[in-house]
Structure formats: structure tokens, C-alpha cells
Structure 1
Amino acid sequence: MTWIYILIFFFTLLFFAVNRKEVFNLGSDARLICSNRTQTKAIFVIWDIELKHKTCKISFSNEGQNINTCDDGKSIQNSTDQSFLHIPNFSASDVGAYRCESAYTGGNENYKIAVGVTAPPAVSAWLERRDKKIVAVCRAERGNPAANISWSVIGNHSVTQQNDRDGFVTVKSELEVPEYIDPENLTCIVQHQFWKREKTFIPKFRGQAFFRLNKTFFQLKFVIYLFILCLIHLFSIFFILVVFNFCLNHHAIQSFKIT
């Protein structure tokens, strides 16, 4: 009886496929629902999954004929009244086309689901000197979708975008800092779909920490040098006093002998 449903189901797939799109946050446990039909009415559910580097299949039937060729943690799980595809720790390797085929008492459904990922970018900001000018750089690396970068001041700026092979996007914005602006009051503003609020970053010269370290080291050396000079000076005074005292004592002894 099940095979009759399967044959009817496959003949109707060509006419009733529905396209959907789902997006999950990087690192989240994704829950992909094929149909809103209750699990008790399902005869079988088949997931054909086409990823960038492999294809696999996961199926469930009420007769116990279950298949899972994915071998990456994906599984069909059941809630109170629904079955769903569970994808643990969602990553870029889980992005792809998920085709769900389900048959239930009284009909069938077929979905083609384009599954994507939302990933926050790694942001860095710094200052550079170019031809006697200061340029502020803000870089939002490997986000998905692309991040939006803006500045707290208006000025001559440019934006470049690099699309990686795995779907992540790197955005870099460069701003020529106006002469009337103090770079320490400049901020880079980054907005991304993954974050609930925008984030701000203050660009600094990359060698600033090294310069401060060198300055501290120089100050320490200078203090040590002064300390050594003071010791030498004190030792010299002490030596002079000892010699002077010796001379006085020697003179007193000689005078006593003469008398």
C-alpha cells in the first residue's frame, strides 16, 4: 500500500513543488520543517540534500524503513506533532539545496528549500599615514551577508567588497580623515544582520602600542641610568670623605709624635 502512495507522490512532484528559503545563524541548531502536517498522518518523509561538496539522503517512513547517508549529525527528529530535520551547529558546509518530499493520508507535499547561513564578520579598524595624510581603514571580514560600514564623520571614502568561494563576504572601507578632525574622535560604525545593534570601533595607529612600549622601556632605562649616576656620585663623595678623614687622622698622629 505504501508503494502506491509513493508512485502517486512522485508523479505529482513535477506539478506541485514549492520553493522556499531558510536562513540560520552560524553555530545554531537548525530546525528545518518540511510540512505543517501532523506527524501521525505522515506516511513517509524524504530529504534529498545537495551541498557544495556532497549529496546525501535522509528518510523516514511509518513502516520503519529509515535511511540516513549524510553521516554529519543531520537527522529527522519528532516534536509533539511534527517531524523536522535537525542540523546541529550549523556551518557554511551545511548551506545548500534541501528537497523535502512527504506523503500523508490524503495527499502529498514537495518543497525545494534554499538554505543559507548568517555569519557575523570579524571587524578590525586602524589608521595609516599616506602621503602626509591620515587614512582610516575599517574591515569587516568573512560575514554573510555583507556588512554595512559607515563613519562618524563625512569625508572622502571608498568601499571595496570581496566575495569568498564559500559564500562569505569581506567589506573594507577607507576614509581620508579631514584635517580638522582629531583621529581619536573618529569611529567606524558596522551594521550586520547577525547583530541586534550596530557596533562601533575606534581606529588606532597599528604601531601605537609598540611605540608606547618603547617609550616605557626608554623611561625605565633613563631612571636606571640616573640611579646609577647617583650611586656613583654618592660613592665618590663617600670615598672623598674617607680619604679626607684618613688624612686628618694621619696628620693628628704625626703632630702627637712631634710633641
Structure 2
Amino acid sequence: MDVEVCKSINLTCGNFTNKDILHVIWEIEPYVGKSCRLAKSKIHPPEDSCKDRRQVKSKIGRNNTEEQFYLHIPEVEYRHEGIYKCEAVYNGGAWKEHIYLNATVPPDIFTSIKRTSDAKLMLVCQAANAKPAGNIFWSPWKNSSQKHTTNSNGTITVESWVIIPANETLENVFCNVQHKAWSTIHYGHFENLHGEENGLQEIRLWMAIPVILCIVFLVYTH
């Protein structure tokens, strides 16, 4: 189960409610750190060796007779990742289930333009600080390069770039980013790319002015 960081979630033990349920036990084995236990019972006092904001709550069903216990995490954090083993015991039977909880972080998208040594344009697209890594692909250009960087907090930054001719229009160039936290594809900020392209043109113009003035000066002095 993938849950976005800072989102709240309720984990239920089985897809049922039963008015005869006796207790629910959650054995939590985090990917990093020590295991802990949470339990809710109609007979015994509640248990909590996790000592954080996670807690087992109960709710009454629509007919006001069936009760279901669920594990509530108000804000998912990286440390909550792990295996959640639950056991629900009720009169006449028991239910066991394992839930694998993974925290996800959608990427921030950044774009920029750089000038190569041979005067071509390098379009750069970043899917930054994501967990797991975002996927970047380009349209219509296919020959892109990529590098992955693992950040200190466990997130991953993917940087992708394509090199195109200096006179190529950027109107139909798209940087597309996919991530499992999103149901649709997100695009780069191409209005910024156009702005930077214009800025490059302005820079080229201002760089040309001193050259033109120098040529004019040489012509008139000879």
C-alpha cells in the first residue's frame, strides 16, 4: 500500500465488521527501527508500545450494532513504513492479514535551459525529491540522458536532458513526468523555458552590439 507523506490513513483488518469482534492486534515491523505493538480489545486494556500518534480506534457501523477496529495514522512519515501484521479475533473465528505500507513523495518539477559549447540548447528537466523516483520522458525527442541522485532524506532526484539545435522551436517540446502518487502525467513549466529562450536571444543581441560598434569604429577610423 502506497500512501503519500503527511496524508492520514486508516488501516482495517479485513473487509468485514462483526458485532461479536473481541479484539484486534497490530504487530508493526518497520523497515527501519524497532518493532512495536498496538491492540484494542473489548475485554482487556488497550496496548501501545509504539508511543507515537498511531492508535487503534473503533467505529460503529451504519446499523449502530456492528463495530470495527482500525489503525489510524494521522500523518504518514517515513518511519511508519513497514509491515503491519493484524489479527482480528471474534466469536467463532479469526482473521490475519499483512499490509506493506510504503510512504511516497511526489516530485517537484524544475526546468531550465543551458547553452552547450557548440551553441546548441540543452533542455534540462528535474523530478526532484521524490520517493520512489519519478519517471521522465520527452516528446518529440527520444535521445535523452539521465542521472539519479539519492538525497540525504532518502528521496531521489532524477535529472534528464536533451540537446537540440539552437534554432529549434520549443513550442512542441514536452518534458513529461510520471509518478505513482499521481494518476495523470505532469508536465514541465514550459512557459519558463520559452522565457529563458528569449533571454538567451537577448543575451546574444547584447553581446553582438559591442562587436558591431567595434566594426563601425574600425571602418570610420580607416
Matched-pair contact (CA < 8 Å) for 2:40–2:57: no
Deviation at 1:153, TM superposition (A): 2.7
Matched-pair contact (CA < 8 Å) for 1:34–1:84: yes
- Determine whether 1:86 maps to 2:66: no
What is the aligned counterpart of 1:174 among 161, 176, 179? 161
3-state DSSP of counterpart to 2:79: helix
Q: Which has the higher strand share?
A: 2
The residue number in structure 2 matching 1:6 is none
Structure with larger Rg: 1
Deviation at 1:180, TM superposition (A): 4.5
Supply the distance in 1 between the matched residues of 2:28 and 2:134 (Cα, whole angstroms): 29
Give the alignment's Cα RMSD to 1 decimal.
2.8
Supply the distance in 1 between the matched residues of 2:23 and 2:39 (Cα, whole angstroms): 7
The residue number in structure 2 matching 1:113 is 99
For structure 1, the 5+ residue unaligned runs are 1-21, 216-259
Deviation at 1:183, TM superposition (A): 4.1
Matched-pair contact (CA < 8 Å) for 2:139–2:174: yes
Supply the distance in 2 between the matched residues of 1:166 and 1:32 (Cα, whole angstroms): 26
3-state DSSP of counterpart to 2:44: coil
What is the aligned counterpart of 1:33 among 3, 12, 18? 12
For structure 2, the 5+ residue unaligned runs are 62-66, 207-222
Supply the distance in 2 between the matched residues of 1:166 and 1:114 (Cα, whole angstroms): 21
Closer/same/farther in 2, CA of residues 96 and 166 from structure 1, 3 Å limit? farther
* TM-score normalised by the chain length of structure 1: 0.64
Q: Which has the higher helix share?
A: 1
The residue number in structure 2 matching 1:147 is 134
What is the aligned counterpart of 1:196 among 183, 187, 194? 183
Closer/same/farther in 2, CA of residues 165 and 55 from structure 1, 3 Å limit? farther
The residue number in structure 2 matching 1:157 is 144
Supply the distance in 2 between the matched residues of 1:112 and 1:166 (Cα, whole angstroms): 27
* TM-score normalised by the chain length of structure 2: 0.74
Matched-pair contact (CA < 8 Å) for 2:87–2:96: yes
Deviation at 1:152, TM superposition (A): 2.9
Supply the distance in 1 between the matched residues of 2:142 and 2:164 (Cα, whole angstroms): 7
Percent identity, aligned pairs only, is: 29
Supply the distance in 2 between the matched residues of 1:190 and 1:113 (Cα, whole angstroms): 28
Equivalent residue pairs, number: 191
Deviation at 1:118, TM superposition (A): 2.7
3-state DSSP of counterpart to 1:40: coil
